[in-house]
Homo-oligomer: A and B are copies of this chain.
């Protein structure tokens, strides 16, 4: 049995932050019912890559979930949603704050129907405050949160992460809130409204840098691949033109580092005598490392580092990453399989658990696939067919036009 079997999530999410939250629940057995606004549904269904009318962007985040087309502006359809709330453990959404309210859905409405419901809301800036109703995308929250201001080459401009860290961290934090709410509801019978924001998630990410700034008042700038508290930390070019990322922090590590690269004079240099002194004199430290690494191949550097259990990393690009021995061993990539057989290889769940075999094949479904089946649980089947028939026709029509299906 999977750990979350029997848990039901009603999932209004779209794009990335919300879907990754419910994906992690789905992967462990929760039944995630994605509720999509007809006729288009989640906009990422139309993002590239489209193969046979199926999007890989959509599949990465929504594999394993059910899909119900439902128009919350239609009172009869909304009524069915409210009946579903009785059967669910959580409702998760990542609309712009205020959208659910426009549908007449608030935590008070939901808990009246089901006191144990957890109502998780993921947004750019949170459900309250002057920025609450601002539109927010990953990169704009990276900008607002300050994380761009500490990322990038030395003397370069603020740089966004090439990966969607605001969406992802916001989604993970939303998932944590949802699970905390479920743990409590199991014990007390009462849920919570959970308000997760991408902004708050990125502020906590920067905890040590921010608390340091609040003490010393020095506004940090992008500083390449260094880390301010120690040196040498960063990428250093080896003689074969391949850089290696290293992190030599503690005194013990620095001693091993000097020994394994046969530089005893480093241990006599008063500028290198402690972690904070090396951090202060990082340019001198780095010049020395460049000199030594430049005379060795990257293989020589890494095997010496490894022999003393020093900390280093190869800077993989996507070509070397997907062949990474650890990724292959851990079966990090899994298959998102559409009913027509189209298969996308996508990153799988980042957690392994005991007594749970790694699942390799997930089904990803077209918009509205589970509409009749799910809604017929809470209303007469003939009524559901009559109500939803035209909706599903409009969905089919839209899919044909937009995806050539």
Rounded to whole angstroms, the CA-CA distance of A211 and B159 in the bound complex is 23
Contacts of A373 in B (CB 8 A): none
Q: How far is the CB of A148 from chain B (nearest CB, A)?
A: 6
Chain-B contact segment, one of A69-77, A262-270, A288-296, A321-329: A321-329
Contacts of A137 in B (CB 8 A): 247, 249, 311
Q: Is the beta-carbon distance between A177 and B145 smaller than 8 angstroms?
A: no
Contacts of A104 in B (CB 8 A): none
Rounded to whole angstroms, the CA-CA distance of A51 and B152 in the bound complex is 30
Interface residue A330 (Cβ < 8 Å from any Cβ of B): yes
Q: Is the beta-carbon distance between B250 and A309 smaller than 8 angstroms?
A: no
Interface residue A209 (Cβ < 8 Å from any Cβ of B): yes
Q: How far is the CB of A91 from chain B (nearest CB, A)?
A: 13
Within 8 A of B (CB), among A32-48: 43, 47-48
Q: A51, A200, A222, A356: which has the most chain B beta carbons within 10 Å?
A: A200
Interface residue A161 (Cβ < 8 Å from any Cβ of B): yes
Rounded to whole angstroms, the CA-CA distance of A249 and B184 in the bound complex is 39
Given known contacts A193-B353, A229-B47, A159 and B159 CB-to-CB distance under 8 angstroms:
yes
Q: Is the beta-carbon distance between B203 and A350 smaller than 8 angstroms?
A: yes
Q: How far is the CB of A137 from chain B (nearest CB, A)?
A: 4
Q: Is the beta-carbon distance between B350 and A219 smaller than 8 angstroms?
A: no
Q: Is the beta-carbon distance between A332 and B163 smaller than 8 angstroms?
A: no
Q: Is the beta-carbon distance between A211 and B347 smaller than 8 angstroms?
A: yes
Q: How far is the CB of A211 from chain B (nearest CB, A)?
A: 5
Interface residue A105 (Cβ < 8 Å from any Cβ of B): no
Interface residue A113 (Cβ < 8 Å from any Cβ of B): no
Chain B residue at smallest Cβ distance from A126: B330
Question: Lowest 4 CB-CB distances: which A-B pairs, in order?
Answer: A150-B162, A140-B313, A143-B313, A179-B179
Residue contacts A-B, CB under 8 angstroms, 9 given: A3-B184, A20-B204, A143-B245, A145-B321, A162-B220, A172-B173, A177-B353, A219-B318, A220-B317
Q: How far is the CB of A297 from chain B (nearest CB, A)?
A: 18
Task: Mark A319-348 against chain B: 1 for CB-CB distance below 8 A, else 0.
Answer: 101101111011011000000000011111
Interface residue A131 (Cβ < 8 Å from any Cβ of B): yes
Within 8 A of B (CB), among A4-57: 4, 6-7, 16, 20, 24-25, 28, 43, 47-49, 51, 56-57
